[in-house]
Structure 1
Amino acid sequence: MSYEDLIRRAERLLGKDPEAAAGAYIRAVEENPNRGEAYYGLGRAYAALGKVEEARDAFRRAAKLMPHDATAFHNLGVMAFRAGRLEEAQDALRRAVELKGDYPEALYALGRAYEEDGRLVDARLAFHKSLQVRPGWEKAREALGRVESKLSQPGALDKYRRILLVMDQGIGNMVMLTPALRALKELLPEAQITVLGRKPSVEVLEGLGVNVITEPEEDASYDIGFYTIWSADYERAFGRKLREQCGGKLYKVQMDDPDLHESEHHMKIPRLMGYSGPTPEPYCALRDVDVPWGEGEKVVALSDTTLDHPAWQRKRWPYFRELAWRLVERGYKVALVGGPSEAARFDPKGWPEVYNLLGRYDIPGTAGVLKKCCLFIGNDSGPAHMAGALGVPTFVLFGPTKASKNIPLGASVRAISKNLPCSPCQYTPRWEACRDWACMKSLSAEEVLEAVFPQKPSVQVVQARELELMDKSYEGCGLERREDGRLYVVRDGRAEPLRVHIIGAGRANFPWGMENEVKRTLEIMGAEVVETDYRLDRADFRDKFLREAHLAMVFKGSGIPPELIRQYPGRIVLWYPDDVFVTAHGRMDMEYNSWAFDTVYTFQRSAVEEFKKYGAKDVRWLPLAMSPYLHRKLPLPPEERERYDISFVGNLFPNRKR
């Protein structure tokens, strides 16, 4: 009987007589020992007979002869797992997933091997990926829940003592990584955390208590590793070596939402490992330095910095010299901060007298200079992130790049932008097409000064007729307006001012944040509004979050721990303003914490049932809307009316600019 005939006979026998099938496969192997399918079939027959070691050996031979066959490695991994050979199982199953990324059975089996080995973070990743490939797979969902429950137990992270993070980009990117590093240190105080990065960016981390390297160490080994969203250069240069040093357990953080703040992308790492607290404050190494001005002098730091690459020159604002003159006229001194490339191109001609500190300090020394300034004004670049992290009042000039993703972290940071329709163009075809960089050139020094030193804001007054119409809508709701113009909650004969707690990213996203419009509208209506920014109020987020109100409204709420939401002392609702079917983070947010709110509001009628799938009990459709009593038609100037056939003017979110 020929080899092919033996294989066909074995296949027919396998389902009803695995013993006879094994005999046919053995004869096929003897006929042609260099064909992997015979060994693969033999492994299946032995597995059906419960002969685990024999099946493992057959699948091992099949995988050797068929090195690109994912199913051979999958079955080898399963048999190795049954034989208690966990390391061999993990190696085989990782190879199966490398060969076929959308292989849910191999991902699930890999998760089980990791779980049995106590590698719960790796198991969590594997089970989660299997569910992404096969949504709704109950076995994988149960396994994921089981592992996540184990992660909260003492000793759950004992397998993770050496952690590698790869970040190969600039100073600002490194500052935005520091909240994640701080969270990891809080979660794993005894672990050695290593950051592979570039000079001078890694100087940001001095004193943080992490190990810093600028190229892979020869004899290093890590329990787990992560490529951050900025690691492609080092992945190309050192990928094979780093993968070996991590034993194959090297994962890549995906930038699945270009509008999500960069620090929150990095925070996926500690949250994956079980961290459930608020995002920590950023960090920047600081060294005290002597400065050429006296204590008490009002000195403004100006920073015309950017990456020394042609594509990034568009981030530079062209009017720093004029701004310096205006600041001097106001009685301020000016200090110029930047690196060697800024020092080389600086021309002092036409400038007022300034403290030229360009290229004179390393990163900690520059931080020491910034700390002694009363204000910072600069491009979207490294020094702006340093100033924000140091608590210096910081004003950042944005044009082509996304403030929602790049705004420096810190309690006293504000973005200044001309808000042109074409801006920001980052991550769009307009980036390459732009030639005039109008978003920066059209932002005048006078406009920057107005943003830094604003005049007293005008008070918006609602007409009496409009108040009367709004008051009618309160009838029967337990609300009434009193003579002082404020709204009161009336309960059991007692009245107290209506207090609404808005929790979102309104200050971080200013002026685009939807939270800002809702806050202003509620205040016009007569409510008292307190605000917590879950991106900027990190240092005392828990205390601010738990401030009592009649109603807490959370906008989006990505990353707020569900257990903290459940502790809120009053009614708390989520208004989710994103498209959950389009945005990659939508489903992650639904799964993570939407179930913890008393009520979920979505502007998508089709998403109501989707939220319920993730455990949200009370889900309602609340579309984005306007009220003619609170909103005004905005007359456009003639040149704008002629430019467009149809104009839509809403909140000026970056993704609405084209």
Structure 2
Amino acid sequence: MTSTPRILVIRHGALGDIVLSFPAFAAIRAAHPAAEISLLTTKPFAAWLEAAPWFDRVMIDPKPGPLDLAGLRRLRRALGGFAMVYDLQTSGRSSRYFRLAGRPPWSGIASGCAFPHADPARDRTHTRERIEGQLEAARIPLPLPLPDLSWTLAAPPIPLPERFVALIPGAAPHRPEKRWPAENFGALAAGLDLPSVVLGTASEAPLAAAIAARAPRTLDLTGRTTIPQLAGTLARASLAIGNDTGPMHLAAALGVRSVVLFGGASDPALTAPRAPDGGWPAILRRPDLAALAVADVAAAAQDGHNDASSPP
């Protein structure tokens, strides 16, 4: 009797990293239709990704420290017995798991692995193409499939306007340089023809309040959506405008017309959201994001075009 092969996918990261990996997840499932596929990820995304069609099991990586011997033993047991591992995280930590797992067939950058991604330009390549190259080296057929995202669409927590613009004024708390000023979002919202719905975490409620002070039709949903409700809200938007942060990756992946604002702290050629066809949303970038004029964002919102070339 032949046992079912067990496959492991490793992917941590922020929300945007997870979203950029969706086509890879779909490709791995297509390549191993009869396998039992597990995902090793971090706690914030585990419950959400349990609903995804690509995995039979989702495990939370406890990330034990080097002196946590009991934790390392537990993780070693969890990593054992896989016929193939796709390390899409390709970090120093995840690469160390190669030996902890007993050196199984492995796709990644761990020294001595069976399917190394040895492209010298990998660190200068957009996440989507970098993962694509890694999977090609692991004999996954290209192009990567267009993933079905219907599994992650939940109804918004409250009724929404028939047409609206989704605004994403937040970003990682430790990266304030990635945030366009809230008063600029407010001025933008005040000049839009449609009402705005502000999305983000509960800690970003002051940003929503600042926007609503300038644009009274604004609806504040900060801290009120799960990830599926966030996706369901974005999918209903006529347009999404926001900083370089996870919800903008969701908006673009859902095919929502999007304008993404980048400062000098991150490079859209490496990390920009991608549309379902692999293309780029409208990208506006300034070395100092605060210097990006409201009029420039309003123009991009009007016609969906960049003020400069899209990332290569």
TM norm structure 2? 0.76
More helix by share: 1
Unaligned runs of 5+ in 2: 62-74, 110-116
> Relative to structure 1, is the Cα distance of residues 198 and 212 closer, same or farther in structure 2, using a 3 angstrom cutoff?
same
Alignment map for 1:375-386 (pairs within 5 Å)? 375-386=239-250
Looking at structure 2, the residues matched to 193 and 278 of structure 1 have their Cα atoms a distance apart, in angstroms, of: 21
Looking at structure 2, the residues matched to 450 and 300 of structure 1 have their Cα atoms a distance apart, in angstroms, of: 14
Looking at structure 2, the residues matched to 213 and 190 of structure 1 have their Cα atoms a distance apart, in angstroms, of: 20
1:243 aligns with 2:125: no
Aligned counterpart for 1:452 among listed residues 289, 297, 301:
301
User: Given that residues 170 and 245 in structure 2 are in contact (C-alpha distance below 8 angstroms), is that contact kept between their aligned partners in structure 1?
Assistant: yes
User: Given that residues 274 and 281 in structure 2 are in contact (C-alpha distance below 8 angstroms), is that contact kept between their aligned partners in structure 1?
Assistant: no
Aligned counterpart for 1:317 among listed residues 180, 189, 199:
180
Alignment map for 1:276-355 (pairs within 5 Å)? 276-282=141-147, 284=149, 285-294=152-161, 297-309=162-174, 312-318=175-181, 320-343=182-205, 347-348=209-210, 350-353=213-216, 354-355=218-219
> Alpha-carbon deviation of 1:233?
4.6
Residue 310 of structure 2: aligned partner: 511
Looking at structure 1, the residues matched to 93 and 35 of structure 2 have their Cα atoms a distance apart, in angstroms, of: 26
User: Given that residues 87 and 94 in structure 2 are in contact (C-alpha distance below 8 angstroms), is that contact kept between their aligned partners in structure 1?
Assistant: no
User: Given that residues 189 and 214 in structure 2 are in contact (C-alpha distance below 8 angstroms), is that contact kept between their aligned partners in structure 1?
Assistant: no
CA deviation string 1:189-233 (max 9, x = no partner):
112222211232342563223132112484552112233245445
Structure exhibiting the larger radius of gyration computed from Cα positions: 1
Looking at structure 2, the residues matched to 174 and 386 of structure 1 have their Cα atoms a distance apart, in angstroms, of: 10
Alignment map for 1:608-647 (pairs within 5 Å)? none
Residue 573 of structure 1: aligned partner: none
User: Given that residues 324 and 334 in structure 1 are in contact (C-alpha distance below 8 angstroms), is that contact kept between their aligned partners in structure 2?
Assistant: no
User: Given that residues 300 and 335 in structure 1 are in contact (C-alpha distance below 8 angstroms), is that contact kept between their aligned partners in structure 2?
Assistant: yes
Residue 170 of structure 1: aligned partner: 14
> Relative to structure 1, is the Cα distance of residues 288 and 231 closer, same or farther in structure 2, using a 3 angstrom cutoff?
farther
> Alpha-carbon deviation of 1:265?
1.6
> Alpha-carbon deviation of 1:450?
1.0
> Relative to structure 1, is the Cα distance of residues 230 and 352 closer, same or farther in structure 2, using a 3 angstrom cutoff?
farther
> Relative to structure 1, is the Cα distance of residues 330 and 391 closer, same or farther in structure 2, using a 3 angstrom cutoff?
same
SS at 1:385's partner residue?
helix
User: Given that residues 7 and 38 in structure 2 are in contact (C-alpha distance below 8 angstroms), is that contact kept between their aligned partners in structure 1?
Assistant: yes
**What amino acid maps onto 1:369 in structure 2?**
T
Looking at structure 2, the residues matched to 217 and 346 of structure 1 have their Cα atoms a distance apart, in angstroms, of: 44
SS at 1:258's partner residue?
helix
> Relative to structure 1, is the Cα distance of residues 413 and 291 closer, same or farther in structure 2, using a 3 angstrom cutoff?
farther
Residue 269 of structure 2: aligned partner: 404
> Alpha-carbon deviation of 1:234?
5.1
Looking at structure 1, the residues matched to 223 and 89 of structure 2 have their Cα atoms a distance apart, in angstroms, of: 29
Kindly tell me the number of residue pairs found equivalent between the two proteins: 278
Aligned counterpart for 1:258 among listed residues 109, 118, 123:
123
SS at 1:391's partner residue?
coil
SS at 2:297's partner residue?
helix
> Alpha-carbon deviation of 1:159?
10
> Alpha-carbon deviation of 1:251?
4.5
> Relative to structure 1, is the Cα distance of residues 330 and 248 closer, same or farther in structure 2, using a 3 angstrom cutoff?
closer
**What amino acid maps onto 1:182 in structure 2?**
A
Aligned counterpart for 1:192 among listed residues 3, 14, 36:
36
> Relative to structure 1, is the Cα distance of residues 204 and 398 closer, same or farther in structure 2, using a 3 angstrom cutoff?
farther
Residue 292 of structure 2: aligned partner: 443
Residue 102 of structure 1: aligned partner: none
Residue 232 of structure 2: aligned partner: 368
SS at 1:322's partner residue?
helix
User: Given that residues 7 and 85 in structure 2 are in contact (C-alpha distance below 8 angstroms), is that contact kept between their aligned partners in structure 1?
Assistant: yes
Alignment map for 1:29-428 (pairs within 5 Å)? 161-202=5-46, 203=48, 206-210=51-55, 211-215=57-61, 216=75, 218-219=77-78, 220-229=80-89, 231-233=91-93, 239=96, 243-253=99-109, 256-282=121-147, 284=149, 285-294=152-161, 297-309=162-174, 312-318=175-181, 320-343=182-205, 347-348=209-210, 350-353=213-216, 354-400=218-264, 401-410=266-275, 411=277, 413-418=280-285, 423=287
SS at 1:270's partner residue?
helix
> Relative to structure 1, is the Cα distance of residues 327 and 313 closer, same or farther in structure 2, using a 3 angstrom cutoff?
closer
Give identity over the alignment, percent.
Answer: 24
**What amino acid maps onto 1:361 in structure 2?**
T
Looking at structure 1, the residues matched to 90 and 202 of structure 2 have their Cα atoms a distance apart, in angstroms, of: 24
CA deviation string 1:311-356 (max 9, x = no partner):
x2211111x4433444343321110111233237654473322111
Looking at structure 2, the residues matched to 345 and 441 of structure 1 have their Cα atoms a distance apart, in angstroms, of: 15
SS at 2:270's partner residue?
helix
CA deviation string 1:487-523 (max 9, x = no partner):
xxxxxxxxxxxxxxxxxxxx9x94354xxxxxxxxxx
Alignment map for 1:462-501 (pairs within 5 Å)? none
Looking at structure 2, the residues matched to 360 and 217 of structure 1 have their Cα atoms a distance apart, in angstroms, of: 37
Looking at structure 2, the residues matched to 448 and 325 of structure 1 have their Cα atoms a distance apart, in angstroms, of: 11
> Alpha-carbon deviation of 1:183?
0.8
Residue 72 of structure 2: aligned partner: none
**What amino acid maps onto 1:363 in structure 2?**
I
Stretch moving more, 198-207 or 400-409: 198-207
> Relative to structure 1, is the Cα distance of residues 397 and 159 closer, same or farther in structure 2, using a 3 angstrom cutoff?
farther
User: Given that residues 156 and 229 in structure 2 are in contact (C-alpha distance below 8 angstroms), is that contact kept between their aligned partners in structure 1?
Assistant: yes
CA deviation string 1:212-270 (max 9, x = no partner):
211248455211223324544555xxx45x63435444443468433422022222343
User: Given that residues 287 and 364 in structure 1 are in contact (C-alpha distance below 8 angstroms), is that contact kept between their aligned partners in structure 2?
Assistant: yes
Looking at structure 2, the residues matched to 387 and 205 of structure 1 have their Cα atoms a distance apart, in angstroms, of: 21
**What amino acid maps onto 2:32 in structure 1?**
L
Looking at structure 1, the residues matched to 90 and 207 of structure 2 have their Cα atoms a distance apart, in angstroms, of: 28
User: Given that residues 183 and 279 in structure 1 are in contact (C-alpha distance below 8 angstroms), is that contact kept between their aligned partners in structure 2?
Assistant: yes
Looking at structure 2, the residues matched to 230 and 356 of structure 1 have their Cα atoms a distance apart, in angstroms, of: 37
> Relative to structure 1, is the Cα distance of residues 223 and 381 closer, same or farther in structure 2, using a 3 angstrom cutoff?
same
Residue 136 of structure 1: aligned partner: none
User: Given that residues 164 and 194 in structure 2 are in contact (C-alpha distance below 8 angstroms), is that contact kept between their aligned partners in structure 1?
Assistant: yes
